[in-house]
């Protein structure tokens, strides 16, 4: 029996705003949906117990750049849980099970460093790191002086600590000033080479679409996965709910597919709004739904190849403002939630939100809101078929608890 692992772990560390998360996202997008699990160390700060953090009175802020500011034990435990989950899938290969650890102090924790097969450490000059940091949104936000007095000195200290480990542990330094695509292609080559060293295991695919009876009248088991659909008004709370659900369940259980990643790159497929000088991204034809559905089916196929796992272990969340206007995607969802907001709330949230391609003045009133009303009216008749309307003005935790109760009730029967 081979002792080779049927998974691959990649570690990304280094300077703030160096490109870690960008590279992680590019790798996740390159492989089939569900193949890559991301574990970000930034989600493990002691935010619920600030007494564990050093308070810096000179800048009236807590120090988030020490290793003591992180719940490393919980992070390590969650990573081990993902690895254990991978090992329970002996019929899958490392190409199907890639874990990316992303954290600015990752390699300063020996246990995490030891887990990584591929290790990349990002570097940036002071001026570039500071400029990028100042344009980035943080919660809580940096206070004046934090970068110079805390973030940069901490980076230099932590970088010096792992200097002696670079050769011994094969840590590759990446220049964060290089084009993100160049960095991605370089790392992808390493990843592909590492995957070739793993044994590939092929299995027959067994698909169980729904519970019920087959054409012989024989009872079928319910599917060993759960699909949740989140749709509705812009800035209603879809992604917040998806993130809360993903955080509630063990790491690696929830896969999220965002409709926003499936807009057609070919702008010729979209209407151009000459009055505001902007393309209209709010219509069904703007989304490559065939590709979105194809990726969703790949995730489902992946789930069905894990017969020893249950729906509690395999949850897919489809998140998209036009999700229920595509009948094929609507039909996949066991639980369906449609967010609503009053006009003034939706507009104020939209205007306060950061977009990679910012809205032009007038876009909300001339495109976003009219399209929402149109699409909402189109699915009005479908609400009796199990689409639950959620009031996006309610507190996010209250919405989460309500939906979680539905999820748990359904999982109890699976």
Dist CA 201 CA 181 (whole Å): 31
Question: Is beta strand 278-279 parallel, antiparallel or unpaired with respect to 272-273?
Answer: antiparallel
**Among 407, 408, 226, CA closest to 300:** 226
Residue 288 has which token pair?
């490559």
Q: How many CA atoms lie within 13 A of 73 on its CB side?
A: 2
**Among 197, 172, 130, 136, CA closest to 12:** 172
Dist CA 115 CA 121 (whole Å): 15
Residue 71 backbone zone (phi > 0: left; psi -120 to 50: alpha; other: beta): beta
> Is residue 42 annotated as a catalytic residue, yes or no?
yes
Neighbouring CB atoms inside 10 A of 373's CB total: 12
Whether 35 and 120 have beta carbons less than 8 Å apart is answered as no
Residue 48 neighbours by CB under 8 Å, 6+ apart: none
Q: Which of 42, 148, 175, 260 is catalytic?
A: 42
Catalytic residues: 42
């Amino acid at each position: 029996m081979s002792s080779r692992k049927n998974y691959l772990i990649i570690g990304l560390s280094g300077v703030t705003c160096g490109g870690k998360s960008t590279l992680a996202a590019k790798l996740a997008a390159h492989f089939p949906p569900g193949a890559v699990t991301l574990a970000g160390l930034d989600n493990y700060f002691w935010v619920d117990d600030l007494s564990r953090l050093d308070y810096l009175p000179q800048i009236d802020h807590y120090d988030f750049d020490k290793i003591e500011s992180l719940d490393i034990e919980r992070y390590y435990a969650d990573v081990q849980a993902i690895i254990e989950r991978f090992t329970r899938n002996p019929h899958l290969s490392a190409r199907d099970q890639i874990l990316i650890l992303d954290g600015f102090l990752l390699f300063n924790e020996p246990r995490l460093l030891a887990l990584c097969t591929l290790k990349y450490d990002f570097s940036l000059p002071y001026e570039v790191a500071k400029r990028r940091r100042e344009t980035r949104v943080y919660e809580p936000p940096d206070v004046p002086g934090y970068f110079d007095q805390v973030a940069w000195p901490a980076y230099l200290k932590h970088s010096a600590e792992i200097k002696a480990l670079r050769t011994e542990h094969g840590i590759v330094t990446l220049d964060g000033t290089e084009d993100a695509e160049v960095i991605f292609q370089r790392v992808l080559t390493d990843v592909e080479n590492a995957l070739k060293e793993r044994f590939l295991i092929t299995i027959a695919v067994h698909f169980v679409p729904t519970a019920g009876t087959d054409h012989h009248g024989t009872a079928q088991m319910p599917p060993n996965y759960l699909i949740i659909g989140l749709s509705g008004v812009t800035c209603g709370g879809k992604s917040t709910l998806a993130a809360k659900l993903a955080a509630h369940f063990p790491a690696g259980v929830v896969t999220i597919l965002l409709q926003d990643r499936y807009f057609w790159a070919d702008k010729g497929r979209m209407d151009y709004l000459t009055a505001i000088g902007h393309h209209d991204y709010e219509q069904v034809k703007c989304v490559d739904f065939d590709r979105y559905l194809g990726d969703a089916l790949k995730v489902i196929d992946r789930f069905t190849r894990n017969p020893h796992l249950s729906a509690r272990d395999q949850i897919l969340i489809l998140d998209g403002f036009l999700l229920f206007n595509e009948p094929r995607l609507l039909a996949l969802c066991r639980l369906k939630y449609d967010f609503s907001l009053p006009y003034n709330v939706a507009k104020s949230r939209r205007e306060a939100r950061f977009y990679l391609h910012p809205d032009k003045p007038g876009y909300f009133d001339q495109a976003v809101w009219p399209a929402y009303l149109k699409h909402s009216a189109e699915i009005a008749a479908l609400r009796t078929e199990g689409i639950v309307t959620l009031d996006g003005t309610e507190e996010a935790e209250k919405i989460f608890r309500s939906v979680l109760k539905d999820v748990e009730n359904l999982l109890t029967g699976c």
